[in-house]
Structure 1
Amino acid sequence: MTSTTKIANRFREVILNGTWIANTNFKAQLHDLDWETATTKYDSLNTIAVLAQHIHYYINGVKNVFKGGTLDIKDQLSFDFPPIQSQQEWDDFLQKFWNDAEEFASLVEQMPDEKLNEDFVNPKYGTYLRNIDGMIEHCYYHLGQISLIKKLLNNK
């Protein structure tokens, strides 16, 4: 198995289907969550919907580079989304999230292993490997927040 296949599968684990690290994943936490719960504010914490959109924002931004495009994402915009106002909007977002996550993983899988050690866009951002590993770690960080917020909301 190539290194890119291994790292693509690690990414799939946190978003789509794994239980090895956190005993859950984004899809398991979000697939049956209604839009009202997803958009409910708990104290000063971000909503589950905003955290999921935040991760999706970064997946799409990095995926664009993998497809030969430019890096257009900005940290200051990474929490700025129009509110989700219906179950249909939430369901549509989730489907896009799952599809984009799988496309991200597929693009990683298709990379030659040598690409992992190349500079990602600009040497100041490190290598492709550093950025993919960072994406996985970032996903686990926010997955933990989502899991906790979901528990807090269920105990209200």
Structure 2
Amino acid sequence: MNTQSKLANRFREVILDGTWIANTNFKNELNGLDFKVANTKIQNLNTISILSQHIHYYINGIKNVFLGGSLDIRDKYSFDFPEIDSREKWEFFLNKFWADSEEFAELIASMTEEKLNSNFVDEKYGTYFRNIDAMIEHSYYHLGQIVLIKKMLKNAEVSSK
């Protein structure tokens, strides 16, 4: 298996279907989650909805570069999203998240070795490989937060009964 396929599979593991590293993935944690729970604020933490949209924001921004576009995403905007205020909007977002993630993985898998080792947009950002690897690590970081927030919400619900 080539490096591109390995990276694509690692990305799919954290977002779509894996359990090897964290024993879960974004899709497993978010599918079936009520939009109200996804928007519930715990102390000063980001909501599950905001964290999910944050990861999707980066996936889409990097995917745009993979497709030949410019790098338009900015860290300062990566948490600025309107609240998803209905089940329909939450389901729409999730379906887009899964579809964009699969397309992202397919683009990784089809990359040439030369492209994978070339500079991503600008030398200061490192290589495509480095950015893909960082996207995977970044996703695991926020997946862990989502899992903990869900546990905190469940504990708060049990405590209030």
TM-score range, shorter chain: over 0.9
Alignment of 1:53-64 (within 5 A): 53-64=53-64
After TM superposition, the runs of 4+ consecutive aligned structure 1 residues lying more than 6 A away are: none
Which of 1 and 2 has greater Rg? 2
Shift of 1:155: 1.0
Q: Specify the SS of the correspondent of 2:20.
A: coil
Unaligned 5+ segments in structure 1 are none
AA at the equivalent of 1:51: L
Shift of 1:32: 1.2
Moved more, 144-153 or 113-122: 113-122
Shift of 1:96: 0.2
Identity %: 66
> Does 1:135 find its partner at 2:135?
yes
Q: Which residue of 2 aligns with 1:113?
A: 113
Give the whole-Å Cα distance in 2 for the aligned partners of 1:8 and 1:113: 13
Q: Which residue of 1 aligns with 2:96?
A: 96
Give the whole-Å Cα distance in 1 for the aligned partners of 2:84 and 2:16: 22
AA at the equivalent of 1:111: M
Q: Specify the SS of the correspondent of 2:43.
A: coil
AA at the equivalent of 2:148: L
Q: Which residue of 2 aligns with 1:30?
A: 30
Give the whole-Å Cα distance in 1 for the aligned partners of 2:139 and 2:117: 22
Aligned-CA RMSD value: 0.5
Shift of 1:114: 2.0
Shift of 1:125: 0.2
Alignment of 1:34-53 (within 5 A): 34-53=34-53
Shift of 1:10: 0.3
Write out per-residue CA displacement over residues 113-149 of structure 1, whole angstroms, 9 at most, x where no aligned residue: 2211100000000000000000000000000000000
Give the whole-Å Cα distance in 2 for the aligned partners of 1:83 and 1:20: 32
Give the whole-Å Cα distance in 1 for the aligned partners of 2:53 and 2:36: 15
Q: Which residue of 1 aligns with 2:71?
A: 71
Give the whole-Å Cα distance in 2 for the aligned partners of 1:112 and 1:120: 14
Q: Which residue of 2 aligns with 1:86?
A: 86
* TM-score, length basis structure 2: 0.96
> Does 1:12 find its partner at 2:16?
no
Count how many residue pairs are aligned between Structure 1 and Structure 2: 156
